Structure 1
Amino acid sequence: MTGGAPGAGHGAAPAAASYSAPALEKGLDVLELLAGSAGPLTQSGIAAAQGRSVGQLFRVLLTLERRGYAVRTEEGGYVLSERLFDLAHRQAPRRGLLAAAAGPMRRLAEEIGQSCNLGVREGDVVRVLAQAESPSPFGFSVRVGAAFPLVDTVTGAVLRAFTSDASGQELDEIRRSGRGERSDSLHAGVTDVVVPVLGPDGAAVAALTVPYVSTSYSGVGIDAVRSAVERAAEEIGTALGRSAP
C-alpha cells in the first residue's frame, strides 16, 4: 500500500515535535496530574510537580476552571470535576452499556439484598461506571467514577481473563469457572463476586461485581448470590447482542 499523510511533501518527514501544541500539552499534563492526586493541589504544588513556573500554568488553570474541568477549593487547591467522566459517558458504547445494565443491576440488588457495581477496563485501571445500591439497611458500595488498579483487584483479573491472552493460575481458573471471587483484603467480611459481561465476540465489555457482605442480616447466601450475578451478567450481555451460550 502506498500513500502518506495529507499535505506531506518529498523528503524526510518533519519531527513529531514540530506538530506539538505546548498549551494543550500543559493542559493535559495538569489533568493527568490532578487525576492521580489523592487531594487538592495548589498552583505552586502543580508547578513544582511539573517543573514549571506558576506563571506558565496560570492561564492553563484559569481555562480548565472556566471550562469546568477543574474546581478550585476554598483553600486554593485544585481538584478534577466530574466533567471528564461525563464526557466519557456521552460515547455511544458507554451509553448502550449503561442502558443495558440499569435494569438487571437494579433487579440483582433487590434480589440479593446487596449492592452491585459495573466496571470497565481503562488502560491499567478498572473504572466504576454504575452502581445499584443495596435495598437493605447495610451494604458495601463504591463511588461511581472511582478507579482501582487492574492488577490488584479480582474485577481486574476477570476483565483480563476475558479480554486478553494473558495466562496464570488465577486467570486460567477464572476462564474455566466463568467468574472470579476473592476476599477483600482491605475490608473484613466482604467477598467480591465478579462475573464478566460478554459482548457478541465473547470478550468482556465490562465486569459485574457484588461486594458480598456476610453478616447475620444477610438474607441470601453466597451460593445464591453467585447464581444471581451470573444471570444478571448474561442478561446484560444479551441486551448488548450476545447470543445465549
Structure 2
Amino acid sequence: MPASARPQAQTMSTSAIPATTPAANETPDKYIVPGLERGLRLLGEFSSKDRTMSAAELARRLKVPRSTVFRLLATLEMLGFVERADGGRDFRLGMAVLRLGFEYLASLELTELGRPLLERLRDEIGYPTNLVVRDGRSIVYVAKAVSPRPFASSVNVGTRLPAHATVLGRVLLEDLPLAELRALYPEAQLEVFSDSTPRTADALFAIVQRDRERGYVLQEGFFESSISTIAAPVRDRTGKVVAALGATIPAAHIDPAHFDPDQLDAMVEKVRNTAGELSRLLDYRPSLHSAGKVVNLYRE
C-alpha cells in the first residue's frame, strides 16, 4: 500500500532493470538493495514492547553507524513511516505503516469473503464477531463486525494478542503437531495472562486437541475474565486452518441464568456454520480431507 508521499524517481535507462527474475545460477543478493533492506529492518524493530526508540538504540540493534540510521529515519519520517514521539528525539511508527497494514488486510481474499459473513452473523446473534489469523505466536485481528449494543472490548482490526492465551489462538494452533508446537514454544513455562492460561506447550497441546475433536471452542474468561468467546476454525483448499472465526459475549451472558441452553447451542451452531461457509468459499472440501485419512499430531 503506497505511502501518501513518494520521493521523485530519477530517470533511469531500462537496461538497468533486470528483464527477468534472477536465473537459478545467479546470486539473489545481487538484486538486494542494501538501503531498502536496512530501512525495512529498522521498521521491524518497533513492536508493542518497543513502541518508541532513539536513533542510538536503533543503531545498536541494527549494528550500523548512527549516521546511517539518521539518514534512514529522515527518509522514513519524510514518507510518514516513522514520526517523532512527542516532538522529541525518540521515534515511533507513523501512519503510513498503518495504511500499509490496512491495504494489505483489504487485499486478502479471506477478509473480503469473511467481512459480509461476520456482519450477517453479528446481526443474527447480536454480538460482535471477529476473524483472526496467526502470525507466529500471535493472533492478528483482520476483520470485525461491531455490535450496536455497548460492549467493553478493546480489540480492533490489527490488534495482536498471544495465541496460546486466547480462544481464537487455540483454534489457530490446533493443526500443529506436538513437535511443531514445542518448537514454537520452546520455553519451559509459557507467559501467563489468566488463571486459564496453559503453563506449558504440552498442556497447550492437550487443550487444542480437545478443541479440535469438538470442532469449536466455547470458553468463559480464558483471556479476559469479563469476556466469553465462541470460535470455530476456517480452512482453505489444503484443509489447513487459516483463520479462526468467533463471537465475543459478556461472560455473564453464558450463565444459565441469562441464557437458555438451547439458545446458546443455537449460537454455537451459527458460529460453526459461518466458519464452515467461509471455508467453502475458500474451496475447502471436507470430503477430500477426512475420508480415510488419519493424521498423527503426536509425532515427535
Q: TM-score, length-normalised on structure 2?
A: 0.66
Structure 2 distance, partners of 1:30, 1:60, is: 8
Q: One-letter code of the match for 2:146?
A: E
Is 1:75 the counterpart of 2:87? The answer is yes
- Secondary structure at the aligned position of 2:249 is classed as strand
Once the two structures are superposed, the pairs formed by residues 67-146 of structure 1 within 5 Å of their partners are 67-76=79-88, 77-80=90-93, 81-89=97-105, 91=107, 94=108, 96-146=109-159
Question: 209, 214, 220: which one pairs with 1:172?
Answer: 209
Mean CA deviation greater in 96-105 or 44-53: 44-53
Is 1:234 the counterpart of 2:268? The answer is no
Mean CA deviation greater in 80-89 or 232-241: 80-89
Given that residues 59 and 69 in structure 2 are in contact (C-alpha distance below 8 angstroms), is that contact kept between their aligned partners in structure 1?
Answer: yes
Given that residues 109 and 135 in structure 1 are in contact (C-alpha distance below 8 angstroms), is that contact kept between their aligned partners in structure 2?
Answer: no
Structure 2 distance, partners of 1:6, 1:241, is: 34
> What is residue 39 of structure 1 aligned with on the other side?
51
Given that residues 171 and 232 in structure 2 are in contact (C-alpha distance below 8 angstroms), is that contact kept between their aligned partners in structure 1?
Answer: yes
- Secondary structure at the aligned position of 1:35 is classed as coil
Q: TM-score, length-normalised on structure 1?
A: 0.78
**What are the Cα deviations for residues 103-156 of structure 1, in whole angstroms up to 9, with x where unaligned?**
110111122221111111223321110111012122535121122223332322
- Secondary structure at the aligned position of 2:45 is classed as helix
Q: One-letter code of the match for 1:182?
A: Q
Runs of 5+ unmatched residues, structure 1 = none
Structure 2 distance, partners of 1:65, 1:20, is: 23
Question: 202, 225, 228: which one pairs with 2:267?
Answer: 225
Between the aligned residues of both structures, percent identity stands at 27
**Residue 237 of structure 1: how far off its partner (Å):** 1.5
Given that residues 165 and 223 in structure 2 are in contact (C-alpha distance below 8 angstroms), is that contact kept between their aligned partners in structure 1?
Answer: no
CA root-mean-square deviation? 3.1
Once the two structures are superposed, the pairs formed by residues 139-154 of structure 1 within 5 Å of their partners are 139-154=152-167
TM-aligned CA distance change 1:239 to 1:54, over 3 Å: same
TM-aligned CA distance change 1:7 to 1:48, over 3 Å: closer
Question: 23, 30, 36: which one pairs with 1:6?
Answer: 23
**Residue 214 of structure 1: how far off its partner (Å):** 3.0
Structure 2 distance, partners of 1:60, 1:207, is: 38
TM-aligned CA distance change 1:109 to 1:90, over 3 Å: closer
Runs of 5+ unmatched residues, structure 2 = 1-21, 182-204, 288-300
TM-aligned CA distance change 1:33 to 1:109, over 3 Å: same
- Secondary structure at the aligned position of 1:241 is classed as coil
Given that residues 166 and 223 in structure 2 are in contact (C-alpha distance below 8 angstroms), is that contact kept between their aligned partners in structure 1?
Answer: no
TM-aligned CA distance change 1:141 to 1:41, over 3 Å: same
Given that residues 212 and 222 in structure 1 are in contact (C-alpha distance below 8 angstroms), is that contact kept between their aligned partners in structure 2?
Answer: no
> What is residue 24 of structure 1 aligned with on the other side?
36
> What is residue 182 of structure 1 aligned with on the other side?
219
Number of aligned residues: 232
Structure 2 distance, partners of 1:216, 1:153, is: 19
> What is residue 235 of structure 2 aligned with on the other side?
198
**Residue 219 of structure 1: how far off its partner (Å):** 7.1
**Residue 74 of structure 1: how far off its partner (Å):** 3.2
TM-aligned CA distance change 1:114 to 1:139, over 3 Å: farther
**Residue 44 of structure 1: how far off its partner (Å):** 3.6
Structure 2 distance, partners of 1:114, 1:240, is: 25
TM-aligned CA distance change 1:129 to 1:242, over 3 Å: same
TM-aligned CA distance change 1:106 to 1:17, over 3 Å: closer
Given that residues 131 and 144 in structure 1 are in contact (C-alpha distance below 8 angstroms), is that contact kept between their aligned partners in structure 2?
Answer: yes
TM-aligned CA distance change 1:216 to 1:182, over 3 Å: closer
